[in-house]
Amino acid sequence: MKYSSICLFLCVVIFSPFAVYAAKLLEYKPSLTNQVDISARYLEHKKEQNVYIAKGDVDIKEGARILNADSLVYDDNSKEIFAEGNILLQDEGDVIECEKLYLNLVTKTGTIEKGKIFVKKGGFQIAGEHINKVGESQYKIKNGEITTCEGERPAWKFLANDIDVTIEGYAKTKGAKFKILNTTVFYLPWGIFPVKTERQSGLLMPTFALSSRDGTKLKTSYFWAISKDKDATFYLDYIGDRGIKPGAEFRYALAETFKGTLYSTIVSDRKYDRTRYQIKATHDQVMWKDLTLKIKTNYVSDVDYMKDFGDTTTERSENLIKSTAYLEKPLPKSLLTIEGSYFKNLTHKNNDYVFQYLPSISFFTEYLPILKERFYTDIYAGLTSFRRAEGANYTRFSLEPRLRMPLSWQGINFLINGTLYETGYTISKSDTANNSTEVRQTAKIEGDANVQFLRNYTTEFLNIGEIQSIVKPQLTYIYIPNTSFSGIPNIDPYDRMYNTNVITYSLHHYLNTMSDQKFRELSLFEIAQTYGISGNLEPSTLYDGSGSRFSNIKTKLTLYPIDNFSYTNESTINTSGNGIAVMRNSLNHKYSNLYWVNLSHYYTSSLSNELFSDIGGFYKPFEGKYQIRYSFKDGTWIDTMYQLTYRPDCWALTLALIQSTRPRDTTFRLSLDLAGITSMQ
C-alpha cells in the first residue's frame, strides 16, 4: 500500500500554577506551538469532523516525542488520540508500551490498557491491566506491579491491587505483596515507596539482626528530603533486651560555606536501668569573607554508652571523646584562632578532674624577613584556660618570639634558630579564694645542617623507567638551658622543658619515578637518633626515650612499587637492649574490581600487639568481606566480621556475622537493598 503523509501544526497551551520537573512522561511546555508529523500506510482526513484516521505502521513525531501504533484516530477539535495495537510512545527516553491508548494532549490524561511504563531516569518499570493517567505524571493502576529490574521475570517486584504512582514522588499501594524471584516474601496491606529520580522522602529499607547480647534488633528509618539544601533521617530502632531507641539526624548545606549536621538519639535502657542518650553535631561556616567557624560536638550520657551502642570497633573502644568550637581569623601575615574544648573521660565515671580548655587562644605570624632578608622572625602567642570542677584551675599565657637565619655554603644548607619562651600562670586552687601567679622563662637554640645528593638513572624493573634518587643526611643541634620548675604546674609536656644539650643525626632517602605523564613517589626511608652531649637525656617531646645518652632509634619506611599498592612501617627501637618499643605496619592493595587487602599492625612493648585485617573481593554478582582484629598480647580475637553480599543488577541481599569481645557479643545481621527504592551503593 502506498505511503501517505501530512504535516499539522498544533497549538497546545497549558496553564499550570505549579512548577514541574524535567524528564517527565508526556511533558508539554506552556505556550508552545508543536509541529506534529503523521505518517502511515493509509491516512484519511475527515474535514467535516476534523478527524484524522491512520492505519498501518502509524508514526507520529512531535519534537522529541514519538508514537508508533497499528492504527490511530486523532480528533483535532478535542485534541484527543485513540490508538490501538503494538503502541510504543517514547518521550526523551521514557517509554509506554500498551495495546490500547487514549490520550488528551491538553489535559495530559487518558487510559492505557495492558500497558507497561518505563521511566529511564531511575529505571522504574510499572505495569498493569488497566492504567488511568490522571495527570501529567500521575498514574492509577489496577492489579499492577512496580520494579526496577528488567526482563519478563524480574528479580523483585511489588504486586498490588491498587497502585497510585507519581513520577518524582511516591508509589502508594494497597494490598501489596513483595516478591523475590516470584516468591512472596511479605505482605503489605498498605505501603508507600519513593519513585525518585532525584532525592526523595520515603521509608528506607529496614535492617534485621539477632544479637546474643541485646536480643532481636530491627533498625527502621525514614528519609525526609526537606529541600535541595536540607534533609533529615528519623530512626526508630527496636532492641529486644534494651528497649525502643528513637533518633534523628538533620543535615544542611545552604552553601559550601554554611553546612553541618545535628544528630541525637535516646533510649530508656532496661539493661542499664536508666535513660541514655547521645548528641552529635558539626557545623562549618565562613563569616564575613574569611572568619571561619567550626563546631564538632560529641556528648554521651554515660561512660558505657559508646561501648554498648558504638557502630564500629573504634567507637566501642573510645576512652576519651572531645567536643570543640573553633574560630579562625586570617590577619595580615598572621592568624588568630579561638577554640573551646570539652573532654569526657570514658574510663572513669567522675569527669570532674578532667581539664576543659575554656578557651584556648593562639596567634602566630608568618616568617617575616628583616635586615634585607638575611634574617626571618615570627611570633607565637597563646592563652589557655584549664578549667575543671574539682582541683586547681590554671590559666597559661605563652609568648614565643623566634629569630631564624638560613645560610648556604658549598651545597650545604644551614638554619639557625633562636626562640625565647615567656610563660605565665595564674593558679586558682579550690581550697582557697586567693589566686597565685608564676612565671617561667627559658630559651631554645637550634642549629640544622643538611646536604642533598641527587642522581637520575633508568631501570627496566617493573617497567618503572627513569628514577630519581635523593639522599639527605642531616644534623640538628638543640640547646635549652637549665630552668627551675618550682611552683610551675605540670599540666602537659609544654610545662616541663628540661635542660637539653643534644645532637640529632638522621638520614633521609627518597626514590621517585619521573615521566612525561606523571611524577610518583616510589619509596621513602628515614632514620634518626639523638645523643645527649652533656649527659643522660631528660624526658622531652623532641626525641623518644630518656635516661641514657642515646635516645631510641626512630625509622620510617614507605613503599609504592606499583599503583594501588602501598606499605608503611614506622618503628621505635630501644637502645637499652629492650628491642622494639613501638611499631606500626600497614599494607594496602586493591586490584581493579576484583579484590582488596588492607592490613595494619600496631605494637607497643607494654600495652598492645594487635592486627587488623580487611580482606574482600568480587565474583560476578557476589561481594565477600572478612574483617578481624586480633590481639597477640592476649591471644584473643577482639572482633571478627564475615559478610556476603549478593548484588545482581537491581537488588542486593547482605548477610553478616559479627563477633566482638569488647563487649562480648555475637550478631547475625540481614539487610536488603532495592535499586531505586534504597541506596544500592
**What would the DSSP string read from start to end of 67-117?**
EEEEEEEEETTTTEEEEEEEEEEEETTEEEEEEEEEEETTT--EEEEEEEE
The Cα–Cα gap between 110 and 108 comes to 7
Amino acid at 398: S
Confidence of residue 14 (pLDDT cuts 50, 70, 90): very low
Confidence of residue 21 (pLDDT cuts 50, 70, 90): very low
Predicted pLDDT at 675: 75
The Cα–Cα gap between 444 and 450 comes to 20
With a cut of 70, say whether residue 623 has pLDDT above it.
yes
Predicted pLDDT at 199: 63
Confidence of residue 196 (pLDDT cuts 50, 70, 90): low
With a cut of 70, say whether residue 31 has pLDDT above it.
no
The Cα–Cα gap between 98 and 130 comes to 10
Pick from 82, 117, 101, 108: nearest CA to 29: 108
CA angle 23, 27, 30 (to 5 degrees): 125
With a cut of 70, say whether residue 594 has pLDDT above it.
yes
What 3-state class would DSSP assign to 544? coil
CA angle 106, 110, 115 (to 5 degrees): 135
The Cα–Cα gap between 280 and 292 comes to 20
Confidence of residue 188 (pLDDT cuts 50, 70, 90): confident
Strand partners, 468: 456, 512
Please name the fold of domain 4-202. lipopolysaccharide transport protein A fold (2.60.450)
Pick 492 or 76 by higher pLDDT.
492
Q: pLDDT tens for residues 406-418?
A: 999 999 999 999 9
Mean pLDDT of the chain: 87
Q: List the chain domain ranges.
A: 4-202, 452-591, 612-681
In which residue are the cell numbers 612525561 written?
516
Q: pLDDT tens for residues 382-405?
A: 999 999 999 999 999 999 999 999
The Cα–Cα gap between 204 and 235 comes to 10
Q: pLDDT tens for residues 197-253?
A: 566 677 777 899 999 999 999 999 888 889 889 999 999 999 999 999 999 999 999
Average pLDDT over residues 314-337: 93
What share of the chain has pLDDT > 70, as a percent?
91
With a cut of 60, say whether residue 22 has pLDDT above it.
no
Predicted pLDDT at 515: 67
Predicted pLDDT at 674: 81
The Cα–Cα gap between 149 and 287 comes to 48
Q: pLDDT tens for residues 522-572?
A: 999 999 999 999 999 999 989 998 889 999 999 999 999 888 999 999 999
**What would the DSSP string read from start to end of 7-46?**
EEEEEE----SS---SS-TT---TTEEEEEEEEESEEEEE
C-beta neighbour count of 663 within 10 angstroms: 12
For residue 538, the 8-state DSSP code is: P
With a cut of 90, say whether residue 303 has pLDDT above it.
yes
Confidence of residue 463 (pLDDT cuts 50, 70, 90): low
Cβ-Cβ contacts under 8 Å for 558 (sequence gap 6 or more): 521, 523, 524, 566, 567, 568, 569
Q: pLDDT tens for residues 133-185?
A: 898 788 999 889 988 888 778 888 889 999 998 877 778 888 888 888 788 88
Query: Do residues 635 and 613 make contact, with C-beta atoms less than 8 angstroms apart?
Result: no
Q: How many residues does the chain have?
A: 681
Q: How far is CA 553 from CA 428, 525, 549, 567, 574, in A?
A: 41, 13, 12, 20, 7
The Cα–Cα gap between 97 and 113 comes to 9
- Cis peptide bond upstream of 194, omega within 30: no
Query: Do residues 207 and 219 make contact, with C-beta atoms less than 8 angstroms apart?
Result: yes
Average pLDDT over residues 502-513: 95
